[in-house]
């Protein structure tokens, strides 16, 4: 691993939700490091997320599936570490356009890995998801561990699983130093308003219906994006090459509990809740065993969910000028998409 006192990072997908939070987190905590953000600026990539960081952050627009550009950037900026957030991540859109997910998430990750191999970067850190393991029954105490089998149930989940396999293959075959983190559902500032918490918040602010899937008791484990960033920092600083670390909190909430919490924060009526058809392959529950990162790296989350949710709702309520223009980019309308497929 390179000297963390003067590291040069390439953050892919760094104008998106978690990537922009990570870029912000890193430059604040590591002011002597150089950070380059690579982002294609698809509908969910948003340049204003990071413009206040430029400089010191350097922005490069590009596609991780473009091998030649990847290699150029790695050499030109003398990158030591790649942190790969770049991915298509909208589960519902993946049902409608699966090809774009496999192209970016699998082939794009492989093109980035190959460039890193040829250039000789010190570490490739890959951001994965709890969803590669499939789902869990609502009435079980079972959780996913780092050795759980991969059983993805949707095109998005499968594309992320394929990317994970490519990362491990480059470690085993070529000796490229890699690490992977599988994370719980993130929430926080700068999240595109297609996702459940900003969607519910922005709709409620305008007294529009909150679309809840029919399986309203399906649950997710929740983590604030800044806690996720601190976990990645711990892995880059103290994690072992070739290892996978789960990043979780143990905090579970159902879809309906999230809707009720958002409505309560904004003082809006429960009548805004609207039931819509489940998307195909809608997973029931994800929960991660994150004892390994706690035990080996000393990491644990710091942001209480109730406080974090309250602050997140307030962030959107105060920044209409940020999210309102993004609404028009949303590629899927949940309450109309699935009858067409069926």
Residues 218 and 253: their CA atoms lie apart, in Å, by 8
Q: Which pair of tokens denotes residue 7?
A: 């590291």
Q: Which pair of tokens denotes residue 185?
A: 């559902």
Residue 104 C-beta-side C-alpha neighbours within 13 Å: 23
Q: pLDDT at position 330, please?
A: 72
Residues 173 and 271: their CA atoms lie apart, in Å, by 56
Question: Which backbone phi and psi does 245 adopt, to 5 degrees?
Answer: -130, 130
Q: Under CATH, which architecture does the 8-191+222-251+284-303 domain have?
A: 3-Layer(aba) Sandwich (3.40)
Q: What is the DSSP string of 22-65?
A: HHHHHHHH-TTSEEEEEE---TT--GGGTGGGTTTSEEEE--TT
Q: Cβ–Cβ contacts within 10 Å for residue 264, how many?
A: 12
Q: Quick check: 40 and 16 in contact, CB under 8 A?
A: no
Bridge partners (DSSP) listed for residue 254: 219
Which of 206, 341, 326, 336 has its CA nearest to residue 276? 336
Q: pLDDT at position 339, please?
A: 46
Residue numbers of the chain with a pLDDT score lower than 50 = 1-3, 338-340, 342
Bridge partners (DSSP) listed for residue 58: 36
Question: Which backbone phi and psi does 88 adopt, to 5 degrees?
Answer: -80, 130
Q: pLDDT at position 218, please?
A: 83
């Amino acid at each position: 691993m390179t000297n963390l006192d003067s590291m040069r990072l390439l953050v892919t997908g760094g104008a998106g939700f978690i990537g922009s939070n990570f870029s912000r987190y890193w430059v604040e905590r590591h002011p002597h490091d150089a950070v380059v953000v690579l982002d294609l600026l698809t509908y969910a990539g948003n340049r204003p997320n990071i413009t206040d960081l430029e400089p010191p952050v350097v922005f490069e627009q590009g596609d991780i599936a473009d091998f030649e550009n990847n290699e150029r950037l790695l050499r030109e900026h003398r990158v030591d570490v790649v942190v790969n957030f770049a991915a298509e991540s909208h589960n519902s859109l993946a049902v409608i356009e699966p090809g774009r997910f496999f192209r970016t998430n699998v082939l794009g990750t492989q093109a980035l890995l190959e460039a890193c191999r040829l250039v000789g970067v010190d570490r490739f850190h890959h951001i994965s998801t709890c969803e590669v393991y499939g789902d869990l029954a609502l009435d079980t105490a079972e959780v996913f561990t780092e050795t759980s089998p991969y059983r993805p149930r949707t095109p998005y989940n499968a594309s992320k699983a394929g990317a994970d396999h490519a990362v491990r293959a480059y470690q085993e075959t070529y000796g490229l130093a890699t690490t992977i983190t599988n994370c719980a559902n993130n929430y926080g500032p700068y999240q595109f308003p297609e996702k459940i918490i900003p969607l519910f918040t922005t709709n409620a602010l305008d007294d529009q219906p909150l679309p809840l899937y029919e399986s309203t008791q399906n649950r997710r484990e929740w983590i604030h994006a800044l806690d996720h960033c601190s976990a990645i920092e711990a892995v880059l600083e103290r994690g072992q090459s070739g290892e996978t670390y789960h990043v979780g909190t143990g905090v579970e909430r159902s879809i309906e509990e999230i809707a009720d919490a958002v409505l309560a924060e904004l003082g809006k009526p429960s009548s805004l809740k609207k039931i819509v058809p489940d998307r195909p392959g809608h997973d029931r529950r994800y929960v991660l065993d994150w004892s390994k990162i706690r035990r080996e790296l000393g990491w644990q989350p710091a942001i209480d969910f109730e406080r974090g949710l309250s602050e997140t709702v307030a962030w959107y309520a105060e920044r209409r000028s940020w999210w309102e223009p993004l609404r028009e980019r949303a590629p899927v309308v949940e309450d109309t998409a699935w009858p067409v497929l069926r």
